[in-house]
Amino acid sequence: MRVLLSTYGSRGDVEPLVALAVRLRERGAEVRMCVPPDEEFAERLAGIGVRPVPVGPSVRSLARGTALPSAADLSRTRDALVEAQFALLPAAVEGCDVLVAAGLAQIAARSVAEAAGVRYVYVSYAAVHLPSPHHAPPPRPGWPEPEVDDHRARWERDAEHVNTQFAEALNRHRAALGLPPVESVRDHVLTDRPWLAADPALGPWPRTPGLDVVQTGTWSLPDERPLPADLVAFLEAGDPPVYVGFGSANAPQDLVRHTVEALRAQGHRALVSRGWADLGLIDDRDDCFALGEVNHQRLFRQVAAVVHHGGAGTTATAARAGAPQVVVPAAISDNLYWADRVADLGIGTALDGPVPDTGSLGAAFRTALAPQTRARAATLGAEVRSDGAAVAADLLLDAAR
């Protein structure tokens, strides 16, 4: 069996497909993967024996600075990505039995699969990306927020925005492939049977007419890497610290300063992850430690709480470790959704606004570090599964048989 996996985004978009690729290869499948051209993704795939197919512009180049690109720049990037997908995916899918596409940015994938006679599977990493009257669509950078409150109406406006951006290009390419036009680009990409790679205990799918969602659980791999010796020494030198990290988000240094000040006011130490924003310490006091890429699965079991931006992967890893969470969500994608889930489940708290002040962070830490929150986080951690990628791999292979 040959499988093409395709996504576009930061590490949080790529890593779940890496997990699926590993599980597929363990079962004898051949895997190729379309990813952004950034060197770190090529190195990651080389490490698991998967051939990368670079598609689209560098994601790191888009993430530079502390602000998102302008609406016009985002629109041009999206248009260029569609053209790149139609140019490169046909060769990548040749000889494959199935194409698995992750994320709404995969506009060309279903059409390429259809033209090649290849099965197509769409996967989302959060329920909020799939239309349902139970929740509103997530904010999409560069597109205006609908000025309506009803969830159904907001999803209708969302579909209109997707059509405005992509319909002409998609149907032009479909015509060139001898395929009929589509009316709703978003629903065409999602299909009526999308997969949801999120844990049912953490982010369940609310049953919705018209969508037969297959929820597999989060796609992740066990990480056995040891922690660096200097980090271990810091952990052993005092009480468990609070981890502060924002991954690939455009987090400002002021957020680190306010966070560390709030933690110090309550007598807590801090770990500051540099991330893509290259965050650093605010001074040279010995109650803080700066770190780069480390094993979060191992580290989160040794911290008092995890402060993060609301990414699906970080939320799931912290939840599985039983660590309380403080989410400072960026107003994009699924970050707000995961912030709400953490608060609703009582395993932490969420803050409004991209740069909360020391006072609001202090209140959030009092909630997150309270005994009852720690107890709920530990209880939920025992329920979060780790076999989602294996479940998905078996589903793909069973369908092929």
Q: Which residue has the tokens 């999206």?
A: 78
Helix (H, G, I), strand (E, B) or coil at 228: coil
Q: What CA–CA distance (Å, rounded) separates 399 from 397? A: 5
The fold of 2-220+386-400 is Rossmann fold (3.40.50)
Q: Does domain 229-381 have CATH number 1.10.1040.10?
A: no
- Domain residue limits, the chain: 2-220+386-400, 229-381
For residue 306, report the phi and psi dihedrals to the nearest 5 degrees: -125, 120
- Residue by residue, pLDDT tens for the chain (401 residues) are 999 999 999 999 999 999 999 999 999 999 999 999 999 999 999 999 999 999 999 988 776 655 667 888 889 999 999 999 999 999 999 999 999 999 989 999 999 999 999 999 999 999 999 999 999 999 888 888 777 889 999 999 999 999 999 999 999 999 999 999 999 999 999 999 999 999 999 999 999 998 999 999 999 999 999 999 999 999 999 999 999 998 776 676 788 889 999 999 999 999 999 877 677 887 889 999 999 899 999 999 999 999 999 999 999 999 999 999 999 997 778 999 999 999 999 999 999 765 688 899 999 999 999 999 999 999 999 999 999 999 999 999 998 87
Q: What CA–CA distance (Å, rounded) separates 38 from 276? A: 13
Q: What CA–CA distance (Å, rounded) separates 128 from 134? A: 9
pTM: 0.94
Q: What angle do CA 82, 29, 395 make, to 5 degrees?
A: 80
Spell 239-250 as b/e; 16+ CB within 10 A means b. eebbbbbbbbbb
**What are the residues whose beta carbons fall under 8 Å from the beta carbon of 169, sequence distance 6 or more?**
79, 82, 83, 107
Locate 286 and state its tokens.
């010995």
User: CA 330, 77, 81, 46 torsion: positive or negative?
Assistant: negative
Matching CATH topology for 2-220+386-400 and 229-381? yes
